[in-house]
Structure 1
Amino acid sequence: MNLNATLIVQVFVFIILVGFTVKYVWPPIAKALDERANKIAEGLAAAERGKSDFEQAEKKVAELLSEGRTQVTELVANAEKRAAQIVEEAKTQAANEAARITAQAKADVETEINRAREVLREQVAVLAVKGAESILRCEIDEKQHAKLLSTLKQEL
């Protein structure tokens, strides 16, 4: 009988423990588990929203990059066109300047040639006068004549 009474007391204590647990312990645990499940669900929903927002942001960034690349390509093309125009203008200006400088140089050369001719004419005239004067002062002798002419040649 001891065994039956012990068993009955143990069953009675177990039922009291189960009742206490169900009434006082289980509701806070269940509440905590429900709260935790809700937080996890909210976190998963936020993660899904974040993932979709991230995908939208990636699409927007890709579109902006594409637009930026297009604009950069257009700017580069415009810059290249402008550079080509500037080069052509510079070539035209350089050709005009070269023609002007060449014409000026030709005119300067022609002027210098004329001056040199005048100077040479004057020098030849002076030498001719000197030569004639030397010839006239000296006796007319073939040797002296030749000597004077060679001296004149050296002076020229």
Structure 2
Amino acid sequence: MNLNATLFAQLTVFFVLAWFTMKFVWPPIMKALDERAGKIADGLAAADKAKTDLVHAEKKAAEALRQARESAAEFRSGAEKQAAQLLEEARTEATRVVSVAREAAQAEASVASQRAKEALREQVAMLAVAGAEKILRKEINPQAHAELLSQLKSEL
């Protein structure tokens, strides 16, 4: 019968086609699929590595930010201490300057007081001489009585 020959021919063509496909078509397709799977795996691995690197970089950035904040806090604390120290030194210097000025003013007042006392003594001596001259009604020789005036000055 003709059906058997057709079936046999179809089976032969099928097996030849299957062999040809397995021998020449299937290996390049499998190779392309394997390469594609490798690229996908590499891409996934790179994505995982990038994700891990990102987490590591975020941790590193957070640590650097924390250290920068601590450094800024230490710097600010040091600056505040230095400002307090400078302020205290300025106060001490101002106190010293005021003290020196006060002492200078007291010394100047003392000198002025001494000068005023000397001038007053001289005026009193001159008044005493003038009064004595009027009382005695005679002229007093300044050279002869210079010693008397000196003694009078020292007694006043």
Three-state SS of the structure 1 residue aligned to 2:45 is helix
Counterpart of 2:75 (choices 44, 61, 79) is 79
Residue type at the aligned position of 1:84:
E
Counterpart of 1:58 (choices 25, 35, 54) is 54
Say which is worse superposed, 31-40 or 117-126, in terms of deviation.
117-126
Do structure 1's residue 99 and structure 2's residue 95 form an aligned pair? yes
Three-state SS of the structure 1 residue aligned to 2:36 is helix
RMSD: 3.8
Paired residues, number = 118
Q: What is the percent sequence identity of the aligned residues?
A: 13
- After TM superposition, the score normalised by the length of structure 1 is 0.58
Residue type at the aligned position of 1:30:
W
Q: Matches of 1:57 and 1:108 in 2, distance apart? A: 74
Counterpart of 1:46 (choices 42, 56, 59) is 42
Q: Matches of 1:109 and 1:42 in 2, distance apart? A: 97
Do structure 1's residue 113 and structure 2's residue 101 form an aligned pair? no
Q: CA deviation at 1:69?
A: 1.6
Q: Matches of 1:52 and 1:23 in 2, distance apart? A: 41
Residue type at the aligned position of 1:43:
K
Which residue in the other structure is 1:144 paired with?
A: none
Measured at CA, do residues 33 and 94 of structure 1 come closer, stay the same or move farther in structure 2, by a change above 3 Å? same
